Chains A and B, each alone.
Chain A
Amino acid sequence: MEWVIVKYPRVRDVFIGGRRSGPANQILIVREGTQTFDLGTPIDYRPPRRTVTVTRTSAADPAMIEFEPV
C-alpha cells in the first residue's frame, strides 16, 4: 500500500490507469509500482499525464504529483 497526493489548484478527480480513483488534493491509497496519473477530461491541464513509480511512501511522506491548469 502506497500513498500519493495529486496536487491541482481546483477540485478535480484523479484517474489512475484510466480509472477514476479519488479526489485531487487529498491523500490517496494506491498500489506499489509504476502508474499513470491524469485528471480526465477536459484535458485543460499539463502535463496531460504523468507516469510515476510509486514506492517507499508513507502517509506522512506521500508521493507528490502535480498538475497545473493551462
Chain B
Amino acid sequence: MEWETVIGLEVHVQLATKTKIFSGASTAFGAEPNTQACAIDLAMPGTLPSPNAEAFRYAVMFGLAIDAEIGKRSVFERKNYFYPDLPKGYQTTQLAEPIVGAGHVDIQLEDGSEKRIRIHHAHLEEDAGKSLHDLSSSIASQGMSGIDLNRAGTPLIEIVTEPDIRNAEEAVAFARKLHSIVTSLGICDGEMSQGSMRFDVNISVRLKGEEEFGTRTETKNLNSFKFMEKCIHQEVERQIDVLEDGGTITQETRLYDGETHTARAMRSKEEANDYRYFPCPDLLPVILTDDYIEDLRQSLPELPDARKQRFQQDYGLSSYDAGVLGSDAATAHYFESCATAASDAKLAANWVMGEISARLNAEEISISHAKVSAEQLAGLISRIKDQTISNKIAKQVFEAMWAGEGDADSIIDTKGLKQVSDSGAIEKLVDDVIANNPQQVENYRKADDAKRPKMLGFFVGQIMKASKGQANPQQVNKVLLDKLNA
C-alpha cells in the first residue's frame, strides 16, 4: 500500500511589540514571574482591553509579505474555555473577520524545485500565561502548579495553512521560510527557544489517489524545526502502522515531549470543543484605511526572496549561498556588514556559512548572540587578504576570538602568529630542509613532472612545520622550486 501524508500547520508567532496586545505591560522575555502582568493581564474585575496599534501594523506587514488580502475591517471575538493560565476564561482572538485573509508562501525544496503553500488566513490574538508544573520547589510537593502570567496578553499572529504540505521536509522548509519572513519584517525576534514561534501540526495519512482526507491528529506547541521534523516522521509512521493493522485513527490532540522526543495524547480530555465564540463586546471593529495599508506596503523591509536575488547579483554568490545568507534578517545583516568592512563578499560568505554557522549550531545560539561580531570577523578576513596570516592560522585566531581573547590583530600580535614573508628567513628555512633531506632531494630531481607536485608537498610540509605554520606559503613554494630546480 502506498500512503500519502497530508499536513496543515498552525503557527503562533509572537509579535515583537514593546507592550501586550491589550495592555501597556512590557513583553520583555525572562522577567521574574508575574512582574509584567498588570491589572488587565490579570483580568481584574472591571478592567477592559486597550488594543495595541503596533500589533495591527505588524500583522498587516505580514499579510502584505505573503501577498494576502488585508482585512480592512477586523473584529475580535471571545473564545471561551477555562484554564488557569487564561485569566479571563476566554481568549480574545479573531474568527469571522481576521486581519489577514488568504495568501501564500513559496518554499524551495532540496531538489531545487519550488512549491506554493497556501495560507488560509492569519489572525491576531493574545497569548496565554504559563503553567509551571515540574518544579522541584515546595509548590510541587504540595501537589500544586504555579501560574506565571507575564506572557499572558503577548500579541500573537496565528497563521493557518491549507493542508498543502505533504511531508516533513516541506513542513520544515515552510517553517524556516516563515521564520525568515517574520524576522526579515522585524515583526518577531525569531527566538525559537523562547517560544517566539510555535507550531501546531495537523497530520493525517490516506492511500495515494484517495480524495478524502484521513482522520487527523494535532500535535501542539512544537518550538523547534528539529522537533517538528521528528514529530512528523513519528506520527506518520504511527498512523500508517495503526491503519495497516486494520485500526482507525482517533482525532486527538497530542503533546510532543522535547526531552524524550515522543508524543502522547493529551490527558486532559478534550470534551467536545465548544468554544462559544462571539464578538467581544468590550472592543469595537478595527477599520484600516487604504492609505494606511498602502503606506505599509511601500515601506515594507526587504523580504527573503528579494534579498536572495540581490545577494546573487551584488555579491556574486551562488543561489544556495544567497539563500542561506539571505534567509533571516540577522544573518543577512551580519554577512553584509562583514562583507562591506572586509571588502570581500566571497570570503565573508565562506566564513559566515563555515566557522560562524558551525559555532552557532554547536552552542545552539542565534547569530545575534555570536561571540565574534561582523566587524571583528571582517578584521580577521582583512588579515588573510593582506597575507598577514594564512587560512590555517586564521582558524586558530578565530578560535581565540570566539573565546573572547580580543580582535584578530591583537591575537596575531600577542601570539606572534604573523606570517613570515622575509625572503632571507624563508631562504634559510628552505636551505635547512634541503640540506637535511638529501635523499628526498635526489628522488625529486630524478622524478618526472607528473610525480613532482606530490613530492613537493613533503618539502612544503617540513618547511611549514619548521616555521610553526607562519611562513608565507606562496613564497615558500617559489623559493623551494627555484632551489630544487637549480
A, B bound:
no
Chain A residues with CB under 8 Å of chain B are none
Chain B residues with CB under 8 Å of chain A are none
